[in-house]
Structure 1
Amino acid sequence: MEITTKPHAAILSSPGMGHIIPVIQLGKRLVDYHGFHVTIFIVASNESSDQSQLLQLHAYKNSLEMVEFPAIDIANLVEPNANVVTRLVVVMREAVPALRSAISAMKCPPSVLIVDLFGTEALCLAEEFKISKYVYVATNARFLSFSLHVPTLHELIKGEFADQKEPLKIPGCKPVRLEDVVGSILDRSSQQYYEYLRICKQLRLGDGILLNTWQDLEAQALASIQNVQVYPIGPLVRPVKPDGLKGEMLCWLDKQSTESVLYVSFGSGGTMSVKQITELAFGLEQSQQRFIWVLRKPVENNADASFFSAGKEHDDDPPSKYLPDGFLTRTKESGFIVPNWAPQIDILSHRSVGGFMTHCGWNSVMESIVNGVPMIAWPLYAEQMMNATLLTEELGVAVRSEVLPTKAVVGRVEIEKMVRMIMEDKQGKGIRERVRELQCGARKALSEGGSSSNALSQLAKYCSTYTSYGK
């Protein structure tokens, strides 16, 4: 006999807002459009903005609940200088027992388990509880295609990937340049290499893979993915809040001309050296363009080192400590400095914002495209280099520096040139037209009958059937 219980999805998210945000939006869409009850499990981190997001979730709807596992101490499980990929994977591995206990204690067990990229080791729980299972890769199809091919590359390439003289060939996609590949595969002697390799193998263990992209944006890359069911369900981004911008920032933006402000932000884990901050400051000043700059405390080590310490770097030092002498005075009318964090989606949606200097995290990319804002690509870590290449060379919605910001300091002259190119040059107008085309495509994909809407409906229908009849 058919059971009419409301379908219930359990979603496991890695710590960090870059992972949590797309999971939250997926959960909301399953609730709003497909009648699911959704439980989101998050491993706590030190990011202060996480807590704010969690509080907002609790007030969302009765059908969407949050379970936060305590922060996990992995100091004895990884090297002190372990990179973010290794640390995320180990954290998620250690969270599997807590997830097992949480699901066992549910009065209404889930019919589907969805894990993010770093939670693939939890897929075994779906077998235990006899429920369907999916992986949510909250980035693009090009990265997924590359990741699915990594196990093959591991067998074909006997030496280090970094020693290869030619780009890495991916069936059905453009070859991936070595400078664009994720750092996780560049050193076979490292733990992160084998952790990432394991993830790439486990991606195929689910009943399918969800992607935060849409069909028309990456038709070629999606077509290249074989022997796995892919659901392009994006772009899933945070909605604009009516009261998201307040006070001095809103007043300042309201006074600016349409599309005259460059928004500068490098994500919750994006940091740079004092020297690079100095060059960026002079480049912005010399461009004579108006800007909002989210300024984080500088570091001298690698960019991803701040991921797990985000939220701890807040201190009493004023922004002037990290900026050139007199910069704040000289840019008092044209610039707006925001320490540490800003309501990004609300800024990008403001009529005055006409450009976005971004670290190319996929959430930020999607938010920029959805709001029709062209980009200056400033990739820092993870798959961001690959994203930057996609944006500049394939989609044509961004410009980038000649040298990677992770390889050398980008000088003020080049920064000024990029800013002017996006904000006022003829080339920038063409890029703006292209991003507006993608903006329309994104809306169409998510609308009723659109490709992404249909893809999620297909998934939801299968999971509902699973609930009603069993697999």
Structure 2
Amino acid sequence: MAAATPTPTLVLVPEWGAGHLMSMLESCKRILLCGGGRAFSITLLVMRPPTAEATSQVEEHVRREAASGLDIRFHRLPAVDLPSDAAGVEEFIARYIQLHAPHVRDAVAGMSCPVAALVLDLFAAPMVDVARELRVPSYVFMSSTGAMLALMLHLPVLHHVVTVEFDEVEDGEVHVPGLPPIPPESMPCPVVDKKSPNYTWFVRLGDSFMDATGIIANTADGLEPGPLAAVADGRAVPGRPAPPVYPVGPVLSLGSSKKDSPEPPHQCVAWLDAQPPASVVFLCFGSMGWFEPAQVAEITAALERCGHRFLWVLRGPPSSQSGAGAPDGSEHPTDADLDELLPEGFLRRTEGKGLVWPTWAPQKEILAHPAVGGFVTHGGWNSVLESLWHGIPMAPWPLYAEQHLNAFELVADMGVAVPLKVDRRRGNFVEAAELERAVRCLMGEEGRTAREKAAGMRDVCRKAVDKGGSSDAALQRLSEALHHGAVAPTI
């Protein structure tokens, strides 16, 4: 009797942040579960994150996934030294991940089963060289937008074509195939200064993307047809075909409905239960979003004057114990002291109409609630996808990373958001009058178009991942490619 063929494994190399790690893992779990009986396993290579808080969060993810019952294995890589001279966050992350390349190589070379592919976080893209050496396929996982993918692929071209800083271009616009002309102030934070190591790394990452076997993207054809078509048509890098892109999103870990749960609803959800449909503007700024007191004062003034019902997740500044000054930029906020941060009498004056929540809140449950009519968000891609999944229009307030480009795309390309003017020179500061205007627009008659387009995107998202949808089809193509490419690593 012939021995059973070992199950091929997908070897994942994620960045440790939840928005990267969980997005990649959820996408690959879909690959594991699809494929009509063609089984995969997942082997996640776990780097030791550079901070204790991030380590604790990763270990919590590992414990939860280990108990999921799926064929997911965890291989902890040996520790490496932290880069001591990194000039910026993105440079630090890319260099720290690259220091793990020899350990990734050893781990993959020692696999006792066929390797379907090495799946690399965008910051780990230079490890396509490791995959090439071991003669295994490599896939870059793009946890951000199709627009950011088009820009990263095109950035090495722009580097040679645009010889000045982007804010010095002659016509005041940056041209990326598949996107409307981008104002320089909407370019992602890592590329605004060409003299910075962050920019140099992003040019290198864009080059590395082109050497991968394929690119897995957490988006959908119907969400971002322009940039995805530009990549597929070869316009992103003229004269050099890009690897095939598999848009398998939106990939969201939405969990099961809690309507029948014996547990009482979260206090934020219970408060929303008492509000009229589509009457509440929700303000939440991600796992690293917090504001200085001067900005908090502007937000309170805007919310009082606009008069709309609101649910505001307000976090306090990081403490030295919780990661302030962390080398990877993961300065996680603390629970807010509302008495200290909010103007005297604000809570009393807005009682019944507003709720300020000072700690973690269940964003996905809140966005799913019928009382929520608009979302003021930092514009991280996972938050955007959650909002679009529920058809909620946005007012994007970008804070870091690629969020300024996300905000531009949401307003100028998708039309699912109303603009909010942020002053990048003042740390993305927003005046009270501007936030008041944006909230009135978002929740009022002026925001009708954004609401209609967001509702349309809700249908696009759900149809894409349904059986026979565009993302389901991309997942099937990807599964087929992975099965054909699975090999035993060779040196």
TM-score of the two chains, using structure 1 as the length reference:
0.90
Q: Residue in 2 aligned with 1:100? A: 105
Where structure 1 has 5 or more consecutive residues not aligned to the other structure, the ranges are none
The answer on whether the counterparts of 2:115 and 2:488 sit within 8 Å (CA) in structure 1 is no
Q: Which moved more, 1:321-330 or 1:128-137?
A: 321-330
Matched, 1:136 2:155: no
The answer on whether the counterparts of 2:8 and 2:113 sit within 8 Å (CA) in structure 1 is no
Partners of 1:139 and 1:334 in 2: CA distance:
35
Structure 2 SS opposite 1:268: coil
Partners of 2:424 and 2:62 in 1: CA distance:
33
1:307–1:21 Cα change, 3 Å: farther
Q: Residue in 2 aligned with 1:159? A: 164
Q: Equivalent of 2:385, from 363, 366, 376?
A: 366
- Aligned CA RMSD, in angstroms, stands at 2.8
Structure 1 SS opposite 2:373: strand
Q: Residue in 2 aligned with 1:89? A: 94
Q: Residue in 1 aligned with 2:238? A: none
Q: Residue in 2 aligned with 1:23? A: 24
Partners of 2:21 and 2:303 in 1: CA distance:
31
Q: Residue in 2 aligned with 1:116? A: 121
Where structure 2 has 5 or more consecutive residues not aligned to the other structure, the ranges are 235-240
Partners of 2:250 and 2:359 in 1: CA distance:
26
Paired letter, 1:53: H
Q: Equivalent of 2:367, from 348, 354, 365?
A: 348
Q: Residue in 1 aligned with 2:63? A: 55
1:7–1:190 Cα change, 3 Å: same
1:68–1:392 Cα change, 3 Å: farther
Percent sequence identity over matched residues?
32
Q: Residue in 1 aligned with 2:459? A: 440
Shift of 1:139: 1.9
Partners of 2:204 and 2:90 in 1: CA distance:
12
Q: Which moved more, 1:114-123 or 1:3-12?
A: 3-12
| Map 1:423-462 → 2, pairs under 5 A | 423=443, 425-462=444-481
Q: Which moved more, 1:290-299 or 1:231-240?
A: 290-299
| Map 1:262-411 → 2, pairs under 5 A | 262-298=281-317, 308=328, 310=330, 313-314=333-334, 318-404=337-423, 407=426, 409-411=429-431
Shift of 1:59: 1.8
| Map 1:226-265 → 2, pairs under 5 A | 226=234, 227-228=241-242, 229-243=244-258, 246-265=265-284
Shift of 1:266: 1.2
Structure 2 SS opposite 1:398: coil
Q: Which moved more, 1:204-213 or 1:318-327?
A: 318-327
Q: Residue in 2 aligned with 1:10? A: 11
Shift of 1:67: 4.2
1:217–1:305 Cα change, 3 Å: farther
1:367–1:94 Cα change, 3 Å: same
1:406–1:400 Cα change, 3 Å: farther
Partners of 2:302 and 2:417 in 1: CA distance:
18
Shift of 1:198: 0.7
Q: Which moved more, 1:199-208 or 1:237-246?
A: 237-246
Partners of 2:76 and 2:454 in 1: CA distance:
37
1:156–1:120 Cα change, 3 Å: same
Shift of 1:419: 1.4
Q: Per-residue displacement from partner, 1:162-211 (whole Å, max 9, x unpaired)?
A: 32232122234322221111232333332112111110111101011121
Structure 1 SS opposite 2:34: helix
Q: Residue in 2 aligned with 1:200? A: 206
